[in-house]
Structure 1
Amino acid sequence: MPTALPTGRRALLLLPALLLACSEPPAPPPADPRPVRVVTVEPRAGGEVVSLTGTIQAETEASLGFRIDGRMTERLVNVGDRVQAGQVIARLDPTNEENNLRAARAALAAAEAQLAEAQNNYWRQAELLRGGWTTRQRYDQASQQRQTARSALDSAQAQANIAENRLGYTELVADASGTVTARGAEPGEVVAPGRMIVRIARQGGLDAVFDVPPVVKDQAPANAAIEVALTLDPAVRTQGRVREVSPSADPATGTFRVRIGLEDPPPALRLGSTVTGRMQLDGGAAITIPAGALTRKDDAPAVWLVDPATQTVALRNIEVLRHDPARVVVGSGLTEGEVVVTAGVQALRPGQKVRLLGAAP
């Protein structure tokens, strides 16, 4: 049978175990600084080339519509058709206008007959007055009737001219050569005066149309030469000048619509083609960082900055003027000499220690 240990000896044996259980677990070793690539902010000289994407549109577009109302019986052109000046575009039912013209011509014939009768009566009264066979009163009445008949004839002639013009208005005629870009009514519809039947892009000039950010608009030099190239084939290119700038910004995008008048555009630049415009901006300092440095904070563009003293990172919002797949032009938020993380931005957290690649550990 085993012999029981004395109480004091048993306590001495349990003491190391109790001390081990009461001690705190050792602290984990500090995490190694995360390696990152950085770039030092340096303002870049002005004169930067900016590229924007736009479309080719006609210099002048006209919406053609009938001057009178009526039921459209035929539309002779469709979208994409080329039309010539004087070509008939569409027709209205002419029945009512033909009847109005016949009525006006009949009224004109009656007015001519009344004037002829009034003229004869006037000359007769004039001869009788010279021979003393009539009174001055009858002569004056004949003169007044002749004048009234002459005025009635003028009115009837004007009504006949109006009726004839309205009959001509039943045919919609192109006033200039061009290409049909849109249609607004179909045969069989009753159309109101002025309603767009077709829209025609007139020949004689092409514009490259761009939506330009405010900062680019403000930095653009006066009467700048702009190179416009076909996006699908950059070898197709031409030069242009600013022809029109919208005075107000688009409420949705905040950009300004700018139309560039093209000089001798090649045939490959067709209506609706997507083009790229390049322009040299005026001088002025600008900060440029790699596109990989850009991240977001509070739904706004931001970058990670490195504190050289503590080797820790912090997130800061910036204003982006423009960007492309390779770089970002910063409007505000960065100053010269600050260090920006360009690689590894998605794995950082505020206050985290980092190690700059290429620097001593």
Structure 2
Amino acid sequence: MHSRNIPCLLVCGGQLVVFKPWIGCLLFALTGCAQQDHTQQTIRPVNVVRITSQETNNDRPYPGEVRPRYETVLSFRVAGKVVFRSVEIGDKVKKGQILVRLDPSDYRLAKQNVEAQLIAAKAEREYSRDDLERYRALYAENTVSQPELDRRETLYIGSEQKVAALEAQLGQVGNQLTYTDLEADRDGVVTGLEVETGQVLAAGQPIVKIAQLDEKEIPIDIPEHRIADIGLRQEVSVSLWAGGDRRFKARVREIAAAADPLSRTYRAKVTLLEGQEDARFGMTATVWIPANTPAHLGVPLSAVFTPQNRPGQACVWLIDEYSATVKAIPIQIIATLPEQRLAVSGLTVGQLVVSTGGNRLREGQSVRIPQSVRPSMDGDGAASGEASL
């Protein structure tokens, strides 16, 4: 009974401490639990990635709109009143098809007038020719003088030139009559229409706009600092907003020689090589131009974190493969890569970093490396991580 109350002695900091036996048991139990919890919390399982060097092939996007390469604005070469229109916007037309017609009455009357004048001129020319032949015979008999013969020759030449002038005028009036029909100059689709039946038009007034369907292009604007990434006849790819992730082959056809004075960008035109049926005029498109940058080291986005004591500084957990501990290494982010990766500097090829599971790690903490990586640690150090970039 009394032995249970024997006090226990403990030397702490050079002093002798006396405490009850039950307190010593409690302290020993708590110390053991704390050591056990610390051991369990120290080793954490993580996923790792082996750092490798690679070319960063970025496709830079440039927005644009699908447009026809050849688009013609048609207009009448004569004035008149519209009496017929056969097309609407969006209609496909064939070469030679009549699109709009003017009232031809005035031009038909003008043609008849010139035709009548031409008939009279030809009759006058025939009379002048016969008269000249008679005077030549009389002159040979010394019946008429030389001035009288010259006068008849002059009259004949004048009548002959009058016929030639009226024939030319008749051809001109005939052309004006044919100009009352506006015909399509090529196969295509109507993209603009600025006329209604009954409207009076002036010569040269824009009427119909026709776009050629067999060649489509996408104009884009290139910033000054990116103009070196693009060249004439360069192969690029094009995606449509309505077509999802599908890409079509294209080629750079034209690059402006000077920058736009307002936007300070260079206008480039990209011709589609495929997907003509899918790309309709006016569709939103994106031109993807390859931009080969120097080789960088890539890491997963999940491997990058920012320490609390260094806000704004990106870091990764570097693994010491011999001691299986981690160390925070500062890095610099250079560019964004596909598949949620980052191009960084500050690491070297062959290093092993934590890809996932590092959100609760601390400096110098031991980690459990995946089994697939451990053989490389026991051998000659060859890279065999479960993922690499």
Q: Same fold (TM over 0.5)?
A: yes
Does residue 1:269 correspond to 2:279, yes or no?
yes
Code of the aligned partner of 1:233? G
What is the alpha-carbon distance in structure 1 between the residues aligned to residue 82 and residue 339 of structure 2? 56
Within a 5 Å distance, the mapping from 1:115-126 to structure 2 comes to 115-126=125-136
Deviates further, 114-123 or 205-214: 205-214
* Alignment match, 1:70: 80
Unaligned runs of 5+ in 2: 1-53, 314-334, 347-358, 364-389
Within a 5 Å distance, the mapping from 1:166-315 to structure 2 comes to 166-234=176-244, 236-250=246-260, 253-283=263-293
Q: Secondary structure at the match of 1:62?
A: strand
* Alignment match, 2:68: 58
Instruction: Note the C-alpha offset of 1:174.
Output: 0.8
Q: CA RMSD in A?
A: 3.9
Code of the aligned partner of 1:146? Y
* Alignment match, 1:132: 142
Compared with structure 1, are the counterparts of its residues 49 and 253 closer, same or farther at alpha carbon in structure 2 (3 Å cutoff)?
Answer: same
What is the alpha-carbon distance in structure 2 between the residues aligned to residue 311 and residue 196 of structure 1? 67
Deviates further, 61-70 or 232-241: 232-241
What is the alpha-carbon distance in structure 2 between the residues aligned to residue 191 and residue 214 of structure 1? 45
Instruction: Note the C-alpha offset of 1:72.
Output: 1.8
Code of the aligned partner of 2:202? A
What is the alpha-carbon distance in structure 1 between the residues aligned to residue 288 and residue 106 of structure 2? 57
- 1:137-158: CA deviations, max 9, x gaps? 1111111111111111111111
Compared with structure 1, are the counterparts of its residues 122 and 50 closer, same or farther at alpha carbon in structure 2 (3 Å cutoff)?
Answer: same
Compared with structure 1, are the counterparts of its residues 133 and 323 closer, same or farther at alpha carbon in structure 2 (3 Å cutoff)?
Answer: farther
Taking every aligned residue pair, what percent have the same amino acid on both sides? 26
Unaligned runs of 5+ in 1: 1-43, 292-305, 315-321, 330-335, 338-355
Compared with structure 1, are the counterparts of its residues 154 and 358 closer, same or farther at alpha carbon in structure 2 (3 Å cutoff)?
Answer: farther
Instruction: Note the C-alpha offset of 1:211.
Output: 3.1
Q: Secondary structure at the match of 2:185?
A: coil
Code of the aligned partner of 2:83? T
Instruction: Note the C-alpha offset of 1:312.
Output: 7.3
Q: Secondary structure at the match of 1:77?
A: coil
Instruction: Note the C-alpha offset of 1:46.
Output: 6.2
Instruction: Note the C-alpha offset of 1:209.
Output: 2.7
Contact 1:50 1:279 (C-alpha < 8 Å) held by counterparts: yes
* Alignment match, 2:103: 93
* Alignment match, 1:15: none
What is the alpha-carbon distance in structure 1 between the residues aligned to residue 218 and residue 336 of structure 2? 21
- 1:191-226: CA deviations, max 9, x gaps? 222111110002331112323333333322453201
Code of the aligned partner of 1:202? Q
Code of the aligned partner of 1:161? G
What is the alpha-carbon distance in structure 2 between the residues aligned to residue 220 and residue 207 of structure 1? 16
Larger radius of gyration: 2
Compared with structure 1, are the counterparts of its residues 206 and 129 closer, same or farther at alpha carbon in structure 2 (3 Å cutoff)?
Answer: same
Q: Secondary structure at the match of 2:139?
A: helix
Code of the aligned partner of 1:158? A
Code of the aligned partner of 1:214? E
Compared with structure 1, are the counterparts of its residues 185 and 215 closer, same or farther at alpha carbon in structure 2 (3 Å cutoff)?
Answer: farther
Compared with structure 1, are the counterparts of its residues 197 and 102 closer, same or farther at alpha carbon in structure 2 (3 Å cutoff)?
Answer: same
Code of the aligned partner of 1:278? W
Contact 2:232 2:255 (C-alpha < 8 Å) held by counterparts: no
Give the TM-score normalised by structure 2: 0.60
What is the alpha-carbon distance in structure 1 between the residues aligned to residue 255 and residue 135 of structure 2? 73
Give the TM-score normalised by structure 1: 0.65
